[in-house]
Structure 1
Amino acid sequence: MSATLAQPAMPSVPDGLPKPARIRAMAAVAMAVLLSVLDYTVVNIAMPDIARDVHTTDSAAIWIVNAYQLANLIALLPVATLGEKFGHARMCRLGLMMFVGASLLCAMSQTLPELAVARAIQGVGGACILGVNAALIRYIYPSSILGRGIALNGLIIALGVALGPSVAAAVLSFASWKWLFLINLPFGAVAFYFAVTSLPVTPRTPVKLDRLSAVLLAVALAGIVTGGDNFAQGEGWVLGVGLLTLGLAAMVLLVRLQLGRSNPLLPVDLLMRPGFSIAFVTGFLSFVASNFFIISMPFNLTNVLHRDPVETGLVITAWPMAIVLTAPFVGRLADRYPAAFLSTLGMAICGTGFLLLRLLPAAPTDADIMWRIALAGAGFSMLQPPNNKAMLTTAPKNRISGASGMISVSRLFGQTMGGMLVALTLGLAHPAPTKTCLALAAFTAYVAAACSFSRVLAGRKE
């Protein structure tokens, strides 16, 4: 068995699948990705009910979300390495099995520790899906239309974010929070069927998982995330600084350990490629900017602009709807124009939308707010497909898994850091913390645009 798995990659790999097979394979990827993204967003709405049922405080219940996100982030790069060894389709199928099994454990949980552990297993399952999905798309779509596949993947993620609150509200209107997890069973079964019957067989390489590096990565990310969150929440500066120091020290040691390795767990070899590193940093900054907006805007709408929860939800849907409506066009543009131009323009537009939200009049109409949000969303939509395509195409074929994992890392780590910075800003920026968040969203988006534009200055058009 192990000898079979360790065989080197085939010398010639087909450039994508024919159209009928491509549609079925992309359906499998889309269902798996939607499952993992949707389950992350639906839980937020049910947090008060869950906290009450498992007899915990609201502040402690945040670990229902944090356990998923932290496990997901820690597992992404090890999963990408295992994808190279065992095959991307196999890791996706394993992720679906873990995710569905953990969903059942979540529904059966009676205490917070039980639920947090089940959510962490879900997070690892989600990482098995998200860590290889971009690599699978690279083999599903021909190079000439790869941008369309990446745009469709971004559209699925946006749909998951947009549908999460609505799905949660619909389920909770007639059933308990446990059904938020139980509905994953039939949906996951269908996704698993398509994953078994439709995903392409991808090349495998005889790599070994570096366990010491995986441990260092876990310590680094756990220390940075938990320490930063503790520091941002003001729950103990000494503990927060200590955890951050531990995390940063582990990260420095990890980077030194990875230098010179041909297939490092942390892809320092890819980050040394200017085209790849610029795309990674651009993606990371874009998600920091988007979280400045996404997290703070509901507070701005409710506390400053006096919208009720229903109005707030309807107004904010302009963001994912703009992404959904523009994604098909952006995918085609990504196949024709380089990321150096499209991503730069997209983040400049996004930053302008955030700035216009910061400069809203004192009593704006819903339409005044929504068109500004839609402008920012359309700009954000222009960034992701070409930028993610640049990360995939600048990586060597034998490092596609590492590139795929780093695409998800840029998103999750950017969202995590953005959340920390929002918490810090809301606690320190007075008398207008939400407006400060919007100003920082605009500033960060413009920095991301400048980072993307540096590819033009360096003569790189990928």
Structure 2
Amino acid sequence: MPPINVIRNALVAGSAERRPAVLWALASLALSMLLSSLGTSIANVGLPTLAQAFSASFQEVQWVVLAYLLAITTLIVGVGRIGDIIGRRRLLLAGIVLFSVASLLCGVASTLGQLIAARAAQGCGAAIMIALSMALVGEAVPQARTGSAMGLLGTMSAIGTALGPSLGGVLIAGFGWRAIFLVNVPLGLLTFLLARRHLPVDRRGPQTERAGFDTLGMLLLALTLAAYALAMTMARSHFGPLNIALLLAAAIGAGLFVRVEVRATAPLIDLAIFRDPGLRAGLAMSALVATVIMTTLVVGPFYLARALGLDAPFVGLAMSAGPLAAALSGVPAGRSVDRFGAPRMTIVGLIGVAAGSCMLSVLPTRLGISGYLAPMIVITASYALFQTANNSAVMTATRPAQRGVNSGMLGLARNLGLITGASVLGAVFALAAATPDIATAPPEAIARGMRITFAVAALLAAIALTIAVASRAVATRPVRDEFSVGK
């Protein structure tokens, strides 16, 4: 289904006068999410070609991907806060321009160092686009359709993730590696024109809500997150003294950040917001579920290739089933959230993720490829429902002045979960397989690692489900107490 039809179907309510404006405003936000997710997945497929083009090792060209992810992870909360201060529409337009210009610089880079630097700049633009696209939903879409809009953004993110490897392969085969970056330039221009024309103009809030920016807090948070992300991403081969030093630096940085925020007159993150159990639960669940999702991406290719003996094209085809299921279920998930409520659908989504993880730990070794695909579809469709419901619950409960930073924290929680999943559960997989080299491990070792790893993933999903149930109980308790007092 063409993206514009997805957008039109996502918003079937609203006045006839407003509907076209809402449609095109949402189209610009959807394209922002599409481009940012495409920027992640399309580069992975080009790493072998880049290694050959620049006569570099895999470890060196891997920074083409890491630079992008690190920029998003370290900046997403800070840019959300800047949007709250100077205006979200204005900053989103600047982020789209930065992303597009950086894509052009990636496409014309003559050295690997230039390409990595341009990718870091592209990640900065992507951080702005991710954080502010969700934050602007509350201003561009009627509140009754927030769930549908969040579902659409999730759908476009999934489409970008699923489309990246196949589109990247076609572009590299037909036009060379530069095309995987240059393709973003016309798409970025279209996104900019739609956003500039149709997004609502920033409304200047009270002066107290437009206080100065916490530069020291932003710097400390960025360095802390960078240290943690590097410790996790560099731990794939081995966890040595450098990784421990980076984790220690991250812990010290986190302590300093909290101390600075407590004393700041205009903190980057008002720590008082963490008194809200709904926000705490939403962030924790987002990180836990993202860890499970990354596990499917890390373990899946090894299992399909080594245990089931599939050739590379069939591995790619099987791996695309998950993102495709998420893309198709995003808009229906949004409608379900609008109809039945975010708390209930959060629980339903988590039940699906936990059930799918349990199935993945048991079925593939008995049923082969069908035993892999069915649980994967359950997990990813349930993830689309969970993400839509959780994002809707957090953002609808957020004060307008805090939408940017809260949206950024949701993105941060997801990114930290992805990074942790790739490292920690990747290590669990290697340990469970009990082999020095996963790439050459026998099928029975891979199958054993698969079972144990997804048993751990199911446990993480069960913890998230427990958090969701407890959070809903806390949220409904005051209503019952007030009713009892009234009687």
TM-score, normalised to structure 2's length? 0.87
Q: Does structure 1 residue 450 correspond to structure 2 residue 466?
A: yes
Q: Does structure 1 residue 318 correspond to structure 2 residue 321?
A: yes
What letter is aligned with 1:251? A
CA shift at 1:130, angstroms?
Answer: 0.8
CA shift at 1:460, angstroms?
Answer: 4.1
Instruction: Report the Cα distance in structure 2 between the residues aligned to 1:57 and 1:273, rounded to whole angstroms.
Output: 47
2:168 paired residue number:
168
* Segment drifting more, 437-446 vs 62-71: 437-446
CA shift at 1:452, angstroms?
Answer: 1.2
Instruction: Report the Cα distance in structure 1 between the residues aligned to 2:194 and 2:419, rounded to whole angstroms.
Output: 31
How is 1:75-154 mapped onto 2 (pairs within 5 angstroms)?
Answer: 75-154=75-154
Secondary structure (helix, strand or coil) at the match of 1:114 reads helix
Contact 1:51 / 1:58 at 8 angstroms: preserved in 2? yes
1:5 paired residue number:
none
- How big is each residue's C-alpha offset from its partner over 1:60-118, in whole Å with a ceiling of 9 and x where there is no partner? 22111110010111111111111012211111111111111111111222322211111
Q: Structure 1's 193 and 346: CA in aligned 2 closer, same or farther, altered over 3 A?
A: same
Instruction: Report the Cα distance in structure 2 between the residues aligned to 1:360 and 1:303, rounded to whole angstroms.
Output: 17
CA shift at 1:348, angstroms?
Answer: 1.4
Instruction: Report the Cα distance in structure 1 between the residues aligned to 2:349 and 2:267, rounded to whole angstroms.
Output: 32
Contact 1:292 / 1:440 at 8 angstroms: preserved in 2? no
Secondary structure (helix, strand or coil) at the match of 2:46 reads helix
Q: Does structure 1 residue 49 correspond to structure 2 residue 49?
A: yes
CA shift at 1:232, angstroms?
Answer: 4.2
Instruction: Report the Cα distance in structure 2 between the residues aligned to 1:262 and 1:338, rounded to whole angstroms.
Output: 37
Contact 2:214 / 2:264 at 8 angstroms: preserved in 1? no
Specify every segment of 5 or more residues in structure 1 that has no aligned partner in the other structure, as ranges: 1-14
What letter is aligned with 1:372? P
1:294 paired residue number:
297
* Segment drifting more, 224-233 vs 169-178: 224-233
- How big is each residue's C-alpha offset from its partner over 1:177-220, in whole Å with a ceiling of 9 and x where there is no partner? 11101111111111111111111123344232211111111110
Contact 2:398 / 2:406 at 8 angstroms: preserved in 1? yes
* Segment drifting more, 400-409 vs 434-443: 434-443
How is 1:265-280 mapped onto 2 (pairs within 5 angstroms)?
Answer: 265-280=268-283
Secondary structure (helix, strand or coil) at the match of 2:202 reads coil
Choose which of 225, 236, 249 in structure 2 pairs with 1:246. 249
Contact 2:42 / 2:164 at 8 angstroms: preserved in 1? yes
2:397 paired residue number:
394
Contact 1:351 / 1:443 at 8 angstroms: preserved in 2? yes
What letter is aligned with 1:212? L
Choose which of 278, 281, 284 in structure 1 pairs with 2:284. 281
Contact 2:80 / 2:404 at 8 angstroms: preserved in 1? yes
Instruction: Report the Cα distance in structure 2 between the residues aligned to 1:347 and 1:318, rounded to whole angstroms.
Output: 19
Secondary structure (helix, strand or coil) at the match of 1:266 reads coil
Q: Does structure 1 residue 421 correspond to structure 2 residue 437?
A: no
Aligned-residue identity in percent: 27
1:199 paired residue number:
199
Q: Structure 1's 436 and 203: CA in aligned 2 closer, same or farther, altered over 3 A?
A: farther
Instruction: Report the Cα distance in structure 2 between the residues aligned to 1:32 and 1:341, rounded to whole angstroms.
Output: 29
Instruction: Report the Cα distance in structure 1 between the residues aligned to 2:68 and 2:341, rounded to whole angstroms.
Output: 35
* Segment drifting more, 331-340 vs 182-191: 331-340
CA shift at 1:395, angstroms?
Answer: 1.8
CA shift at 1:434, angstroms?
Answer: 3.3
Instruction: Report the Cα distance in structure 1 between the residues aligned to 2:403 and 2:364, rounded to whole angstroms.
Output: 47
Contact 2:78 / 2:405 at 8 angstroms: preserved in 1? no
Q: Does structure 1 residue 384 correspond to structure 2 residue 384?
A: no
Contact 2:352 / 2:379 at 8 angstroms: preserved in 1? yes
CA shift at 1:242, angstroms?
Answer: 0.6
2:232 paired residue number:
228
Secondary structure (helix, strand or coil) at the match of 2:212 reads coil
Instruction: Report the Cα distance in structure 1 between the residues aligned to 2:159 and 2:361, rounded to whole angstroms.
Output: 26
What letter is aligned with 1:312? V
CA shift at 1:368, angstroms?
Answer: 3.3
Contact 1:84 / 1:207 at 8 angstroms: preserved in 2? no
Contact 2:155 / 2:329 at 8 angstroms: preserved in 1? no
CA shift at 1:316, angstroms?
Answer: 2.2
Choose which of 350, 354, 357 in structure 2 pairs with 1:354. 357
Instruction: Report the Cα distance in structure 1 between the residues aligned to 2:386 and 2:182, rounded to whole angstroms.
Output: 35
Choose which of 212, 215, 220 in structure 1 pairs with 2:216. 212
Instruction: Report the Cα distance in structure 1 between the residues aligned to 2:364 and 2:156, rounded to whole angstroms.
Output: 34
Instruction: Report the Cα distance in structure 1 between the residues aligned to 2:111 and 2:460, rounded to whole angstroms.
Output: 40
Instruction: Report the Cα distance in structure 1 between the residues aligned to 2:313 and 2:456, rounded to whole angstroms.
Output: 26
Instruction: Report the Cα distance in structure 2 between the residues aligned to 1:293 and 1:263, rounded to whole angstroms.
Output: 40
Choose which of 297, 306, 312 in structure 2 pairs with 1:303. 306
Q: Structure 1's 301 and 111: CA in aligned 2 closer, same or farther, altered over 3 A?
A: same
CA shift at 1:347, angstroms?
Answer: 1.2
Q: Does structure 1 residue 61 correspond to structure 2 residue 61?
A: yes
Aligned residues: 446
- How big is each residue's C-alpha offset from its partner over 1:390-442, in whole Å with a ceiling of 9 and x where there is no partner? 11122222211111111211221211111111332244332433333222222
Instruction: Report the Cα distance in structure 1 between the residues aligned to 2:274 and 2:176, rounded to whole angstroms.
Output: 45
Instruction: Report the Cα distance in structure 1 between the residues aligned to 2:468 and 2:453, rounded to whole angstroms.
Output: 22
1:6 paired residue number:
none
CA RMSD between the two structures = 2.0
Specify every segment of 5 or more residues in structure 2 that has no aligned partner in the other structure, as ranges: 1-14, 435-444, 480-487
Choose which of 438, 449, 452 in structure 2 pairs with 1:433. 449
Instruction: Report the Cα distance in structure 2 between the residues aligned to 1:386 and 1:243, rounded to whole angstroms.
Output: 34
What letter is aligned with 2:136? L
1:12 paired residue number:
none
Q: Structure 1's 131 and 362: CA in aligned 2 closer, same or farther, altered over 3 A?
A: closer
CA shift at 1:171, angstroms?
Answer: 0.7
* Segment drifting more, 66-75 vs 53-62: 53-62
Contact 2:70 / 2:226 at 8 angstroms: preserved in 1? yes
2:26 paired residue number:
26
2:345 paired residue number:
342
Q: Structure 1's 263 and 288: CA in aligned 2 closer, same or farther, altered over 3 A?
A: farther
What letter is aligned with 1:116? I
Contact 2:308 / 2:368 at 8 angstroms: preserved in 1? no
What letter is aligned with 1:211? T
